[in-house]
């Protein structure tokens, strides 16, 4: 019914153009028992769930859909998720060919209405170019909250960053301002070993690796970064001032449930003003990072955290964690070592520095050591990591 016809439909001698609407997409719903790909769909869902990887909504929306049509589309998605045993609460969405309604607010409000919490892939009507490929999308590389009038809703919007090898200067700017980065690629079309597309994918991965190392970024799933952003937008900081320092403590009373396990896992960038520009800074934070060319300090709060300046330094913390993509719970800290829980699911990664060699214990841990820096990676559910200072001096 999508082929145009010239026909005297009303029988009045007037030939008119008759057009049908095109439904683009698979002819079977993913929850249809008659779907020829049913076995593969169930196997994919099972694999992703067993490995604790998020399954997000890929919505088929067009510029000219009505509110009711958009609502029906997303309700079909919701029912398909429920039929397949996929969690729907606080799920995220992106869009097929990036399209949303010509009234962007209509799409975002309908998504929020049906229980979606974030939209990380969209193309505003008539905007030139596409996410990832167009300069017009530079403003959207910073995540922001949906604003209706004067009210900011607990709904996050974000678009993929430009292609990493084509827009290298943009990445330097994002690193300078500590902007988070979300990257999109159709990797399923680029996996054939020895192919040109595989070589391009490898080059892309290597370029992203350089960005990660230079900016001290943590790799995260889209669901993990959404939870972290919800926490950062709504978590408040209580700051207590002392004579030569401050104490920071997280106030999570306003953090919504969308933050889940990231509730309270807040990071702070401390930038000293002119009076303290050349003053020594120290902290009792286990999670801390110093950039090489500036006298500033990044800290992650695992509890009340001190930053002091001047000649008196705080005792060196037992642990120096350079970055983490996961909330950290300290379960034990005694003569037997330090035991940490990496509390998120999917992929957990911890980078730490130790001048004393460490024995690192835990199930399914992948450990990479370069000089005195250890990178600990784990895939799957949350995990435990035990750190023991080695007494072996050989």
Q: Which is more confident, 42 or 214?
A: 42
DSSP string, 133-149: T-GGGGGGGS-EEEEET
- Residue range 26-60, pLDDT digits in tens: 678 999 999 999 999 999 999 999 999 999 999 98
Position 120 in a domain: yes
> Mean pLDDT throughout 120-135?
85
- Same domain membership, residue 235 and residue 171: no
Mean pLDDT of the chain: 92
Position 212 in a domain: no
Task: Tell me what pLDDT residue 141 has.
Answer: 80
> How many distinct structural domains can be found in the chain?
3
- Residue range 76-86, pLDDT digits in tens: 999 999 999 99
Of 317, 349, 368, which one is at a domain's C-terminal end? 317
Q: What is the pTM of this model?
A: 0.90
- Same domain membership, residue 249 and residue 233: yes
Q: Which is more confident, 215 or 108?
A: 108
- Residue range 246-278, pLDDT digits in tens: 999 999 999 999 999 999 999 999 999 888 888
- Residue range 138-152, pLDDT digits in tens: 777 889 999 988 889
- Same domain membership, residue 381 and residue 262: no
- Same domain membership, residue 284 and residue 141: no
- Name the band, by pLDDT with cuts 50, 70 and 90, for residue 284: very high
| Cα–Cα distance for residue pair 110/113, rounded to 1 Å | 5
- At residue 294, the 3 state secondary structure works out as coil
Is pLDDT above 60 for 181?
yes
Task: Tell me what pLDDT residue 169 has.
Answer: 86
> Are 349 and 326 spatial neighbours (Cβ–Cβ below 8 Å)?
yes
Highest mean pLDDT among 159-163, 169-173, 227-231, 387-391: 227-231
291 half-sphere exposure, CB direction, 13 A CA radius? 17
- Same domain membership, residue 37 and residue 160: yes
- Same domain membership, residue 263 and residue 138: no
Overall size of the chain counted in residues: 394
- Same domain membership, residue 253 and residue 156: no
> Are 282 and 299 spatial neighbours (Cβ–Cβ below 8 Å)?
no
Q: Which is more confident, 189 or 352?
A: 352
- Name the band, by pLDDT with cuts 50, 70 and 90, for residue 4: confident
What's the distance, CA 145 to chain centroid? 15
Is pLDDT above 60 for 394?
no
Of 292, 317, 342, which one is at a domain's C-terminal end? 317
Task: Tell me what pLDDT residue 2 has.
Answer: 62
Is pLDDT above 60 for 1?
no
Is pLDDT above 60 for 180?
yes
Q: Determine the Cα angle at 39 with ends 83 and 345, to 5°.
A: 65
Is pLDDT above 60 for 393?
no
- Same domain membership, residue 59 and residue 76: yes
> Mean pLDDT throughout 198-218?
93
> Are 379 and 51 spatial neighbours (Cβ–Cβ below 8 Å)?
yes
| Domain enclosing residue 365, as ranges | 324-394
Phi-psi region of 119 (alpha: psi -120 to 50; beta: other; left: phi over 0): beta
CB atoms under 10 Å from CB of 154, counted, come to 18
Of 269, 296, 317, which one is at a domain's C-terminal end? 317
Written in H, E and C, the secondary structure of 180-249 is CCCCCCCHHHCCCCCCHHHHHHHHHHHHHHHHHHHHCCCCCCHHHHHHHHHHHHHCEEEEEECCCEEEEE
- Same domain membership, residue 335 and residue 244: no
């Amino acid at each position: 019914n999508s082929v145009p016809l010239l026909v005297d439909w009303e029988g009045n001698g007037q030939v008119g153009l008759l057009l049908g609407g095109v439904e683009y997409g698979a002819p079977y719903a993913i929850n249809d028992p008659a779907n020829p790909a049913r076995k593969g769909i169930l196997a994919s869902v099972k694999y992703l769930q067993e490995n604790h990887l998020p399954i997000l909504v890929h919505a088929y929306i067009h510029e000219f859909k009505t509110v009711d049509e958009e609502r029906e589309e997303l309700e079909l998605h919701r029912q398909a998720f429920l039929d397949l045993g996929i969690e729907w609460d606080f799920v995220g969405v992106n869009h097929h060919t990036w399209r949303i309604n010509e009234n962007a607010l209509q799409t975002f409000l309908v998504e929020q209405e049906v229980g979606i919490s974030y939209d990380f892939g969209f193309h505003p009507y008539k905007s030139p170019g596409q996410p990832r490929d167009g300069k017009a999308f530079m403003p959207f590389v910073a995540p922001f909250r949906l604003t209706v009038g004067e009210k900011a809703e607990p709904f996050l919007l974000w678009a993929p960053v430009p292609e990493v090898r084509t827009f290298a200067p943009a990445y330097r700017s994002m690193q300078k301002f500590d902007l988070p980065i979300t990257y999109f690629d159709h990797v399923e079309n680029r996996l054939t070993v020895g192919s040109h597309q595989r070589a391009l994918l490898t080059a892309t991965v290597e370029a992203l690796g350089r960005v990660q190392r230079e900016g001290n970024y943590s790799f995260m799933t889209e669901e993990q970064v959404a939870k972290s952003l919800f926490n950062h937008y709504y978590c408040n900081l209580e700051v207590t001032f002392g004579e030569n320092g401050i104490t920071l403590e997280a106030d999570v009373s306003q953090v919504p449930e969308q933050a889940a396990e990231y509730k309270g896992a807040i990071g702070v960038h401390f930038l000293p003003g002119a009076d303290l520009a050349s003053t020594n800074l120290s902290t009792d934070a286990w999670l801390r990072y110093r950039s090489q060319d500036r006298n500033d300090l990044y800290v992650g709060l695992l509890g009340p955290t001190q930053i002091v300046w001047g000649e008196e330094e705080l005792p060196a913390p037992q642990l120096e964690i350079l970055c983490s993509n996961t909330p950290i719970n300290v379960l034990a800290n005694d003569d037997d070592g330090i035991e940490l829980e990496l509390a998120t699911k999917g992929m957990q990664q911890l980078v730490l520095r130790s001048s004393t060699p460490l024995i690192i214990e835990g199930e399914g841990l992948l450990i990479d050591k370069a000089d005195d820096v250890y990178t600990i990676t784990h895939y799957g559910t949350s995990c435990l990591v035990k750190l023991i200072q080695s007494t072996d001096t050989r």
